[in-house]
Copies of this chain bind each other. A is one copy, B any other.
Amino acid sequence: MANDYRTRTAGAPWGWDEAHKRLHVAIVGATGAVGLELAELLFAAGHPLSRLDCLARKYGKLELGNKQKLDVRPLESTQDAESFPGVDLAFLCTPTELSRVLGPALAEHGVRVIDLSSAHRMRPDVPLVVPEINGAELARGGRLFANPNCTTAIAAMPLAVVEREFGLAEVIVVSYQAASGAGLPGLQALAFEQKRDAGVAALGAEPKSPFAATLSNNVIPAIAEVDEHGVSGEEQKIVEELRKILGRPDLVVEATTARVPVERCHSVAVHVATKRDVDLRRLKDALARAPGIALDPDPHGPRPRECAGTDPVHVGRVRAGTRGPRSLCFFAVGDQIRKGAALNAFQVAAKLPVDR
């Protein structure tokens, strides 16, 4: 599927301006699915490669879609901010435990940090930002910023429109999450299983799967650990992060998260109760006008396979609920590696005030 990033964001308000191009940028965890996508975004935005450091656990090369190769430095002393000499801005595509120490260390050392893990998202002093929704948070100062959970970012985009138009009362989010949510190991495990199911011979060694069960031809109805109350880590993130991003600590959010055998793009079925009566025409108009949202007119869309590699959150099946005039339903799909991760982090960086 075509990755039409270049054309879609050409005139976008989060363009990577000259001041940003002068920043020395580091991608930590550059060889993962999200790190690689960030490198692609920076390259496409015209960021000079001489001012881009790629770091990962192992030394090596990163190859972009256009065959351009980037050096990858090994991440030696991960807790030592001194090992990032001259870096102005760091994207942390790192495991939560690593982000927990590295994020504050770098920030204290003067580096602007955009952390894509869940380490700092719920800290009151750390903005958790989807630029189209609460980009104003970026002007609050501080140097450490958090990028939301992938499913949360995708669900938040249309929910922010509903909140503005009719006020949210209760939100139920049920997800269909792609293998890419578990990074390259997830993609590799699914591809292997699908080939085996299809009867492909000469498969080679089975990669270690990050999933709780075979994903091919299956649905795994919980993502991450399930706590003693039966709630999954992913569901807890959706509840807490949606409240923070939407600025509605009182919002009632209920979620079920499941993994489905899809490569890229998370999907969510959303059932909403609103504070005021819903006017569907007005809602569709507002969604169509909202930056970063594409309204899908296909009655059987949007679909993850077709949305892969695109920027917007695709919204369709917008309809009245059966719970009275203050209820509505919709379906939303977003590329979890792009708007669900790398693209959102890039947009956060592009919106950061830069004065040098």
By a beta-carbon cutoff of 8 Å, the part of chain A in contact with chain B is 170, 172, 174, 176, 194-195, 197-200, 212-214, 216-222, 225-226, 229-232, 239, 252-254, 256, 258, 260-263, 267, 269, 271, 299-306, 316-323, 327, 329, 331, 333
Name the B residues within 8 Å of A231 (CB-CB): 319
Q: Considering the chains assembled together, what is the distance between the CA atoms of A222 and B319 in angstroms? A: 12
Q: Considering the chains assembled together, what is the distance between the CA atoms of A319 and B230 in angstroms? A: 5
Whether A254 and B323, one on each chain, are in contact in the complex, defined by CB atoms closer than 8 angstroms, is yes
- Can you list 8 A-B pairs, Cβ within 8 angstroms, ordered by A? A174-B256, A176-B260, A194-B197, A195-B199, A198-B200, A217-B304, A221-B300, A231-B319
Name the B residues within 8 Å of A301 (CB-CB): 213, 221
Q: Across the A-B interface, give the 4 residue pairs with the lowest CB-CB distance, nearest first.
A: A230-B319, A198-B198, A226-B299, A212-B300
Whether A322 and B229, one on each chain, are in contact in the complex, defined by CB atoms closer than 8 angstroms, is no
Q: Which of B170, B258, B321 contacts A176 (CB 8 A)?
A: B258
Q: How far is the CB of A235 from chain B (nearest CB, A)?
A: 9
Whether A217 and B262, one on each chain, are in contact in the complex, defined by CB atoms closer than 8 angstroms, is yes
Q: Considering the chains assembled together, what is the distance between the CA atoms of A327 and B261 in angstroms? A: 30
Q: How far is the CB of A228 from chain B (nearest CB, A)?
A: 10
Whether B220 and A300, one on each chain, are in contact in the complex, defined by CB atoms closer than 8 angstroms, is yes
Q: Considering the chains assembled together, what is the distance between the CA atoms of A300 and B214 in angstroms? A: 11
Q: A301, A316, A322 — which one has the most chain B CB atoms within 10 A of its CB?
A: A322
Name the B residues within 8 Å of A263 (CB-CB): 217
Name the B residues within 8 Å of A256 (CB-CB): 174, 269, 271, 317, 329, 331
Whether B199 and A323, one on each chain, are in contact in the complex, defined by CB atoms closer than 8 angstroms, is no
Q: How far is the CB of A186 from chain B (nearest CB, A)?
A: 13
Whether A239 and B322, one on each chain, are in contact in the complex, defined by CB atoms closer than 8 angstroms, is yes
Chain B residue with the shortest CB-CB distance to A257: B269
Q: Considering the chains assembled together, what is the distance between the CA atoms of A317 and B222 in angstroms? A: 8
Q: Which of B172, B218, B253 contacts A305 (CB 8 A)?
A: B218
Whether A218 and B262, one on each chain, are in contact in the complex, defined by CB atoms closer than 8 angstroms, is yes
Chain B residue with the shortest CB-CB distance to A191: B198
Whether B260 and A219, one on each chain, are in contact in the complex, defined by CB atoms closer than 8 angstroms, is yes
Q: Please judge, given known A-B contacts A260-B176, A269-B258, whether A200 and B200 are in contact too, CB under 8 Å.
A: yes
Q: How far is the CB of A246 from chain B (nearest CB, A)?
A: 15
Q: Considering the chains assembled together, what is the distance between the CA atoms of A329 and B304 in angstroms? A: 25
Q: A195, A214, A216, A254 — which one has the most chain B CB atoms within 10 A of its CB?
A: A254
Whether A219 and B254, one on each chain, are in contact in the complex, defined by CB atoms closer than 8 angstroms, is no
Q: Which of B318, B322, B331 contacts A253 (CB 8 A)?
A: B322
Q: How far is the CB of A310 from chain B (nearest CB, A)?
A: 15
Q: Which of B195, B253, B267, B306 contacts A198 (CB 8 A)?
A: B195
Whether B229 and A306, one on each chain, are in contact in the complex, defined by CB atoms closer than 8 angstroms, is no
